[in-house]
Structure 1
Amino acid sequence: MQKLWITRPLPDKVIAEARRHFDVEVRAETLPLTQAERLRALAEFDAVLPTLGDAFDASFFKDRPRCRVLANFGVGFNHIDAKAARAAGVAVSNTPGAVTDATADIAMTLMLMTCRRAGEGERMVRAGNWPGWHPTQLLGMHVTGKTLGVIGMGRIGQAIAQRAALGFGMKIVFYNRSTLAGLPFDATQLAGLEDVLQAADVVVLAVPATPETHHLIDAAALGMMKRESVLINIARGDVVDEAALIEALEQGRIAGAGLDVYEFEPKVPDALRRMENVTLLPHLGTSAQEVREDMGLMAVANLVAFFKEGKPLNPV
């Protein structure tokens, strides 16, 4: 029976399924793997089920390791050099589909909280500073009928757009590398990123983390947005130049931001934490019991398929 290392505690249902197929060791620690642990993962196990933060760059694949497959727990795999892994004979897989709806829900949560100043209002109530209702208190953006700009119209981008269009009557414009047609809701694909940034009242980022999307939203991009607009990021933190975002918010060049991910996660700059017009969540995108179970079961299914058929169900 192949030896499998699961690098973080996972739901009991997932561990039980993994034990049906593999000789499983579960690491109790919740923080990312250390350098020594990453070396051990590839040297002592036939398969590893890693997740966000368990970084395997090209240096780990210089010598052909014992490990034959990394079944990533999550759809994003920018922490793994998949090309170098494959060259060393190590397959890499991820868990697309399982995360789509939960991540889209968090995008909508961030949009509503930021536009309607819900976080600011809750802090006021909790602090005992609410003086009572009055007509001009915490006036925010009414999202119904506004324009949502989606950057990256993959599974998650489409799920966000569908919720916004059908649930809130928002006009959808989007930027995507490839041309899309036949979407089940009204949406207009614009030619360039700048066109979406200029048109949208709310911009949501749903692109993968790649060298091409690193700092996709920089000072120049933020400067194209409307002063009253809001930026939502549920993609990866380094898609946004965090220093440029802080400057744009401090100078009032955009109205607010809703963030579930951060450039140097888990570090969140003091400047962002001080701002009342910024909603900050601790990477809750897929944080629902059944979703994390589905992700884990998909990762295990990838492993089973690899050892039975030579290829995971969701190779990357």
Structure 2
Amino acid sequence: MNGHKIYVTRRIPDQGLDLLRTVADVEVNPDDAPLDRATLLAKAAECDGVLGLLTDRIDAEFFDAAPRLKGYANYAVGFDNIDVAEATRRKVPVSNTPGVLTHATAECAWALLFAVARRVAETDRVMRSGAWTGWGPLQFLGSGVTGKTLGIVGAGRIGTAFALMSRGFGMKVLYTSSSNRRNAVLDKELGAELVPFETMLERADYVSIHTPLTPQTRHLFDAAAFARMKSTAYLVNTARGPVIKEDDLVQALQSGEIAGAGLDVYENEPAMAPGLAERDNAVILPHVGSATTATREDMSTLAARNLMAMLDGRRPETCLNPELFDSRA
């Protein structure tokens, strides 16, 4: 123990906490709920390191309150909650947890795709209610997957893993790229096609979102996008909620402009847009994309290792502002 103090803004798996306790005095938010802003700032003022979640806004106000801070580790692959430019200006390293949750999140996207296409949640509710009266040839007709066209928005780690999982279904894979850069893995393994966003919307039977949230992707899916999609198409989102303009999605689901949606993330979490919960053609999960035991443990240990490195003045494994360390060379 070298006198470092760490605050963890919400309880994470013990594997990460145990690692942190080998190098610092660790305090953990005792409540299983997002930390309020005043407490976050007060705790940051006392600490050398903070390990936090997407619900924690890490901005100039946060850094002002934390003069001792040697690093901030995000327990998530996404980092739109962090003002990375401001952290860099303050010479505070920050990190995230990419890689370790790739397959769990891709698998969750497939679970949503199948659930909405085959009306799993809707029919489960019917069975539980006791309302089912027996088999009928026109009951609960859904959509198949084999041989259909799959559109990937954001062909990074998770989007690539998700697309590769389609191999057993003989799907045609389309993907978009904001940089117009080809994905060599998808091209080689699937014969995938790089297409403009609008083209993908018009051709895909299933569209899965895997893009980060940026100013360019916020509300990427709005009324105009839904109008381009097939009326038989389904949308899946395990990325970031605000990529979809949720009120427009509800309208598209209500009107039949698209066939259905499977969602794990929401524009204003934990709230949903009015009307979404009532839609039988929406499958809605509570942000569980990475929620396997092994994945959450791996996230906790990666975040802990990152923070330990920062406390020691070393570059963390998954640093978001590595130039801070490059300049020290």
| TM-score (norm: length of structure 1) | 0.96
Separation in 2, partners of 1:3, 1:64: 12
Per the alignment, residue 282 of structure 2 pairs with 278
Unaligned runs of 5+ in 1: none
Aligned AA for 2:284?
Answer: L
Per the alignment, residue 135 of structure 1 pairs with 137
1:12 CA drift (Å): 1.9
- Which of 184, 190, 211 is equivalent to 1:207? 211
Q: Deviations over 1:15-73 (max 9, x none)?
A: 21221122111111222221212212331100000012111233333477211211000
Aligned AA for 2:172?
Answer: K
Separation in 1, partners of 2:67, 2:226: 44
Separation in 2, partners of 1:93, 1:284: 21
- Name the stretch that deviates more: 299-308 or 148-157: 299-308
Q: Does 1:179 align with 2:165?
A: no
Per the alignment, residue 221 of structure 2 pairs with 217
Per the alignment, residue 56 of structure 1 pairs with 58
Q: Does the 8 A contact of 1:146 with 1:170 survive in 2?
A: yes
Q: What SS does the corresponding residue of 2:312 show, helix, strand or coil? A: helix
Q: What SS does the corresponding residue of 1:273 show, helix, strand or coil? A: coil
Separation in 2, partners of 1:111, 1:17: 37
Q: Deviations over 1:151-205 (max 9, x none)?
A: 00000000110111x1322111110123222435214333311011111000000
Per the alignment, residue 162 of structure 2 pairs with 160
Separation in 2, partners of 1:218, 1:141: 23
Separation in 2, partners of 1:231, 1:9: 32
- Which of 5, 18, 41 is equivalent to 1:3? 5
Q: What SS does the corresponding residue of 2:42 show, helix, strand or coil? A: helix
Q: Deviations over 1:206-245 (max 9, x none)?
A: 0001111111111111111000000000010000000111
Q: What SS does the corresponding residue of 1:23 show, helix, strand or coil? A: strand
Q: Deviations over 1:119-172 (max 9, x none)?
A: 1110000111111111111010011111110000000000110111x1322111
- Which of 186, 192, 195 is equivalent to 1:191? 195
Q: Superposed, which structure 2 residues align to 1:79-98 within 5 Å?
A: 79-98=81-100
1:81 CA drift (Å): 1.0
Distance 1:159-1:89 versus aligned 2 partners, 3 A rule: same
Aligned AA for 2:245?
Answer: D
1:303 CA drift (Å): 1.5
Q: Does the 8 A contact of 1:32 with 1:53 survive in 2?
A: yes
Q: Superposed, which structure 2 residues align to 1:1-316 within 5 Å?
A: 1=2, 2-62=4-64, 65-164=67-166, 166-177=167-178, 178-183=181-186, 185-316=189-320
Tell me the C-alpha RMSD between the 2 structures: 1.4
Separation in 2, partners of 1:28, 1:168: 46
Separation in 1, partners of 2:10, 2:201: 38
Separation in 2, partners of 1:27, 1:158: 35
Separation in 1, partners of 2:60, 2:116: 39
Q: What SS does the corresponding residue of 2:160 show, helix, strand or coil? A: helix
1:309 CA drift (Å): 4.5
Distance 1:142-1:223 versus aligned 2 partners, 3 A rule: same
Distance 1:249-1:174 versus aligned 2 partners, 3 A rule: same
Separation in 1, partners of 2:286, 2:258: 22
Q: Deviations over 1:241-300 (max 9, x none)?
A: 001111111111001000000000000234011010000000010111111000000001
1:305 CA drift (Å): 2.1
* Identity value in percent: 44
Separation in 1, partners of 2:63, 2:147: 51
Separation in 2, partners of 1:312, 1:41: 22
Aligned AA for 2:307?
Answer: L
